[in-house]
Amino acid sequence: MILTVTLNLALDVTYQVPDVDWDGVNRVSAVHRRAGGKGVNVARVLAALGQDVLVTGLAGGPTGQAVEEDLRSAGLPSALTGIAGDSRTTLAVSEHQGASGRTALFNEPGPEVTPAELASFLRRYESLLDGAGAVVISGSLPRGVPLDTYATLAAIAAEANVPAIVDADGEPLRHAPKGRPSVVKPNAEELARAVPGGTPAESAHELRSQGAGAVVVSMGSDGLLAVTGEGTFRARMPYTVRGNPTGAGDSLVAGLALGLVESAPWPERLRRAAALGAAAVAAPVAGDFDPDVYADIHPQITIT
């Protein structure tokens, strides 16, 4: 079983619009509403790949209830800790015609979490690690949660001999290596904010020196950079997939998590992860991926 942690769960709303007029009225051609947050998206991809998953995190209020109902309807097992505050909604406005194919994201900050609520979650999290093959800790932190919480969660997993992947930004990313996660997965911009002034490879080496087992940097159409204990690898894409990039990083993380539980060689992990990320761009909603794009691009990715 792969456990995914989403402390800032959300109800993701996606508007598909032919061409966005930012100064006028827009007619929405399709609306998608589903449980979201980065860990939920990871779980959806893993479930589609036939893996047993368990979603955990914090949920509260009417929005939290809607999230739980959608997880049940999607057949995604969950063990959520209730909070008093209302969970957040996110909005993606995605153009599906025209030359740009742009997507704009609007992310609410999330509820205020009390120390008692967080302590309750931590107790449950520790018990859920029993039987987990890996844990994915990802996304933003809701208000009231300490910035080093992902380091704490990774350290608890390490004590339980469960490999952890952390996908975060800002201060949570800077603190994460202290928890000795197996993999830290920033994108290029997140890495530059966390460790400014160096090349991506230099910054990734710095995070490894602080405790991360490996650092995998997603670089969009430039593929992946992985700095690991076995060496440095690059995954290069044969072509650029156009579409909605929301959730592409989560699909990529799902591939890395699968590689962890299978103990796959790094080239194989990176090829699958990069292919899943690209295939997610071709899908209209975060948490999905296009299997035809995956099958086409996977054998064409080069690893050096």
* pLDDT averaged over every residue in the chain: 92
CA distance 74 to 46: 13
CA distance 119 to 276: 35
Question: Which of 40-54, 157-171, 269-283 is predicted least confidently?
Answer: 269-283
Query: Is the residue at 20 inside a domain?
Result: no
Query: Is the residue at 96 inside a domain?
Result: no
* CATH number of the domain encompassing residue 48: 3.40.1190.20
Query: Is the residue at 66 inside a domain?
Result: yes
Token couple for 234: 């690059």
Half-sphere exposure of 257 (CA within 13 A, CB side): 36
Query: Is the residue at 69 inside a domain?
Result: yes
- Tell me what pLDDT residue 112 has: 96
Question: Where residue 166 falls among pLDDT bands split at 50, 70, 90?
Answer: very high
Distance from CA of residue 58 to its chain's centroid? 16
Q: Which residue stretches of the chain are H helix?
A: 38-48, 61-73, 115-128, 149-159, 170-175, 188-194, 200-209, 248-262, 266-281, 291-297
pLDDT in tens, 203-245: 999 999 999 999 999 988 889 999 999 999 999 988 878 776 7
- Tell me what pLDDT residue 99 has: 47
| Section 119-144 average pLDDT | 96
CA distance 219 to 296: 20
Query: Is the residue at 19 inside a domain?
Result: no
Instruction: Tell me the backbone φ, ψ of residue 118, rounded to 5 degrees.
Output: -65, -40
Domain count, the chain: 1
Q: How far is CA 260 from CA 43, 149, 186, 188, 289, in A?
A: 15, 22, 17, 22, 20
CA dihedral 266, 248, 112, 123 (to 10 degrees): -30
Q: Please tell me what DSSP assigns to residue 283.
A: S
Catalytic residue ranges: 250
Chain position carrying tokens 């508007």: 15
pLDDT in tens, 233-291: 999 988 878 776 777 899 999 999 999 999 999 999 999 999 999 998 888 777 788 89
Query: Is the residue at 181 inside a domain?
Result: yes
DSSP characters over 209-267? HTT-S-EEEE-GGG-EEEEETTEEEEEE-SSPPPS--TTHHHHHHHHHHHHHHHT--HH
Q: Indicate the pTM of the whole model.
A: 0.90
CA distance 290 to 146: 37
pLDDT in tens, 67-112: 999 999 999 999 999 999 999 999 888 886 554 567 888 988 889 9
Containing domain of residue 71, as a range? Answer: 2-6+37-81+111-303
Query: Is the residue at 101 inside a domain?
Result: no
CA distance 51 to 201: 32
Query: Over the range 41-55, which residues count as b (16 or more CB within 10 Å of their CB) and which as e?
Result: bbbbbbbebebebbb
Query: Is the residue at 203 inside a domain?
Result: yes
CA distance 255 to 152: 24
102: left (phi over 0), alpha (psi -120 to 50) or beta: beta
